[in-house]
Amino acid sequence: MKHGIGLPVYPGVAMGKPLVYRKPEAASSDVGTPEAEALKFHRACQEAKNQLSALAKIAREGLGGEQAEILEVQVLMLEDGELLEGVEAAIASGASAAEAVQQQGEAMAQDMAALDDDYLRGRAADIRDAAARVTGILRGSGTFSFPEGKFLLLAEDLAPSETVRLPRDRVLGLVTRQGSANSHTAILARTLNIPTLVQADMDLKDGENAKILAIDASCGEWFLDPDEETLARLKEKQSSLNHQQTGLDAYRDRETVTASGRKIQLFANVGSAEDVAEAQAVGAEGIGLYRSEFLYLGREKLPSEEELFEAYRTAAERMKGRSVIIRTLDIGADKQASYLNLPAEENPALGLRGLRLCLAHPELFLPQLRAIYRASAYGNLSLMFPMVTSLWELQEAKRLCTQVCLELEDDGVAYREIPIGIMIETPAAALEAREFAKEADFLSVGTNDLTQYTLAQDRQNAALERFFDPCHPALLKLLRSIAEAAGQAGIWAGICGELAGDATLAGMFLDMGYRELSMAPGRILEVRKTICEREETP
Ligand code: PEP
Ligand code: MG
């Protein structure tokens, strides 16, 4: 038996076959013969042109001219004789297809940037972007194939684009060597309700050689090939935890109200249709955060407006008139969709992510807005923008919403005018909450990112765990002032970061004036029990 510890991020006991997840191999970096590399280049170039043409079509339908033209110009750039000849010459002199495209794209971009003509200078970024798309395809990666049956997954770490591919009904538990309590792996574990340890001190090779892995994620322990006594002890604990969970069932259909009659709504955080079913099953009073980017991750191409519409409509219909808040695309930082071929960033958490990315790429944003508004006719939808920093971003996003509504009206498509809220995730938005509260219909605090940016702590960095303080006075001051700003403007404020699911903090949030807490479905019953049992002095 081998034994060690990890940081528990979702409690519970699990045992079963270990499966070690290895990152899928990136396409081989070996350089083939010039003929083979040239063939790879032409195939990747064709694939990039197909992607760009598809995006241009979406842009033209959604928004008309300008964005579509840029994408069409990028298609022409990839057919440009100078580019093709330059790449072929570099390949002939020994470069790999990816190196050749990168070099030639950069050389052409620099030539353009040096021109006098403003328009042509502006095209330098487009040629870089088009070349990056081709190299992205050339360096693209494969996928991991999961065997049959149930297992506990062991990994170095998991990116959101990997977690969405997990066969969720077969994962009994998760153990990662990296990760932090606020990482998206931890968030996924809470959403899926599976016992999880991060920062485990386990050698993955030992995991590969073991027959059984048992974890006690209530106290942060793991055991490889546990002896009989340990296994019996863990099984007993597992059944006592199941028993406690059954005790919470009584809170499933109750209102969340304290003994003195103060009410708060408990909503669920979801990322897929399965999560919506889970939210319903635990008596969520609504969906407070639909992480819509999960519909874009772990796949090979952009979801169509129709696919998005179906997902949102399903959520709206399933929740039967209860509120469903769809957060618009929050791609960037650790949530990457490789087919978008977005340029690498030095500091992605501070980069072109969330609403910033959507405003920079309306060809991505407008189809999503159209899908949300179309689905609004089928239930009680709201929309919410992530990573807002300045008021103009919200105003511009609202203008795009109006544009979409006008288009739907022209097309004779049914929609409703729905509440538009923002996430407060940056200190700037928190400090300007009063101004935002005049423009938004509600404010929902994303404490995961707000903590990261306020305390200057990368939420992915395992080494910062001891510095992480959800009750840091700076954070509490911001939280208090956000609720006050909402109250003064006569709108509601909620919390949808992971802190919302911490039963020990629920009373404090209620006292601050928060009217909604949105959390992993698996956390709702315990938080409801805590609020319903709250002793309050009059
Ligand atoms: C947050 O930042 O608190 C949040 C809810 O968004 P995400 O965790 O998806 O970044
Ligand atoms: Mg966030």
- Write the pLDDT tens digit of every residue in 291-318: 999 999 888 789 999 999 999 999 999 9
pLDDT attached to residue 147: 83
Give the Å distances, CA to CA, from 368 to 250, 374, 400. Answer: 38, 10, 11
pLDDT at position 109 is 85
CA distance 336 to 315: 24
The single residue of 45, 184, 401, 405 carrying the catalytic annotation is 184
User: What's the pTM value of the predicted model, to 2 decimals?
Assistant: 0.77
Which of 326, 449, 454, 517 for a ligand 1 pocket mutation test, highest count of atoms within 8 Å of Cβ?
449
Closest C-alpha to 359, from 335, 337, 328, 380: 328
The atom number, within ligand 1, closest to the CA of 445 reads 3
Low-confidence ranges of the chain (pLDDT < 50): 63, 141
Q: How far is the CA of 496 from the centre of ligand 1 (A)?
A: 7
DSSP string for 198-250 = ES----HHHHHH-S-EEEETTTTEEEES--HHHHHHHHHHHHHHHHHHHHHGG
What is the predicted pLDDT for the residue at 333? Answer: 83
DSSP class of residue 149 equals S
In angstroms, rounded to a whole number, what is the distance separating the alpha carbons of residues 419 and 12?
38
Whose C-alpha lies nearest to ligand 1, atom 4? 446
User: Could you give the CA distance from residue 422 to residue 430 in angstroms, rounded to a whole number?
Assistant: 11
478 Cβ contact partners less than 8 Å away, ≥ 6 residues apart: 427, 430, 431, 450, 454
Strand order in the sheet with 2-5: 2-5, 221-224, 213-216, 13-16
The residue to mutate among 353, 389, 448, 453, having the most atoms of ligand 1 within 8 angstroms of its beta carbon, is: 448
Q: Which of 401, 405, 496, 532 is catalytic?
A: 496
> Among 291, 478, 518, which residue has the most ligand 1 atoms within 8 Å of its CB, making it the best to mutate?
291
Q: Ligand 2 center to residue 433 CA distance, Å? A: 17
Pocket lined around ligand 1, Cβ cut-off 6 Å: 187, 289, 291, 330, 425, 446-449, 496-497
Kindly report the number of other CB atoms within 10 A of residue 413's CB atom: 13
Q: Provide the pLDDT for residue 24.
A: 64
Long-range contacts of 389-392 (CB under 8 A, 24+ apart): 389/356, 389/426, 389/428, 389/429, 390/428, 391/432, 391/435, 391/436, 391/439
> Who's near 417: CB < 8 A, 6+ residues apart?
405
DSSP result, 282-329: TT-SEEEEEEGGGGTSSSSSPPPHHHHHHHHHHHHHHTTTSEEEEEP-
Q: Whose CA is nearest to atom 9 of ligand 1?
A: 291
**Which residue's structure tokens are 């990997």?**
162
Separation CA 174–CA 499 (nearest Å): 21
Concatenating the DSSP letter of every residue in 150-189 gives -EEEEES---HHHHTTS-GGGEEEEEESS--TTSHHHHHH
Q: From the CA of 423, how far away is ligand 2's center (Å)?
A: 8
Query: Is 243 marked active-site?
Result: no
Atom of ligand 1 nearest to the CA of 289: 5
383-407 pLDDT, tens digit each: 999 999 999 999 999 999 999 999 9
Ligand 1 centroid–CA 239 distance in Å is 33
The answer to whether 342 touches 306, Cβ cutoff 8 Å, is no
Active site residue 3: no
Ligand 1 atom closest to the Cα of residue 182 is 8
In this structure, what token pair is assigned to residue 99? 């190196």
Which residues are within 8 A (CB) of 243 and not within 5 positions of it... i.e. 6 or more apart? none
How far does the chain reach from its first CA to its final CA, in angstroms?
55
Contact in structure between 383 and 418 (CB atoms under 8 Å): yes
Please list, in sequence order, all residues whose beta carbon lies within 8 angstroms of the beta carbon of residue 64, skipping any fewer than 6 positions away. Answer: none
Ligand 1 atom index nearest CA of 447: 3
Q: Are 231 and 252 in contact (CB under 8 A)?
A: no
Please report the pLDDT score of residue 52 as a whole number: 80
The per-residue pLDDT for 6 is 95
Three-class SS of residue 420?
strand
Q: What is the pLDDT of residue 173?
A: 95
Q: Give the residue carrying structure tokens 């991060």.
A: 198
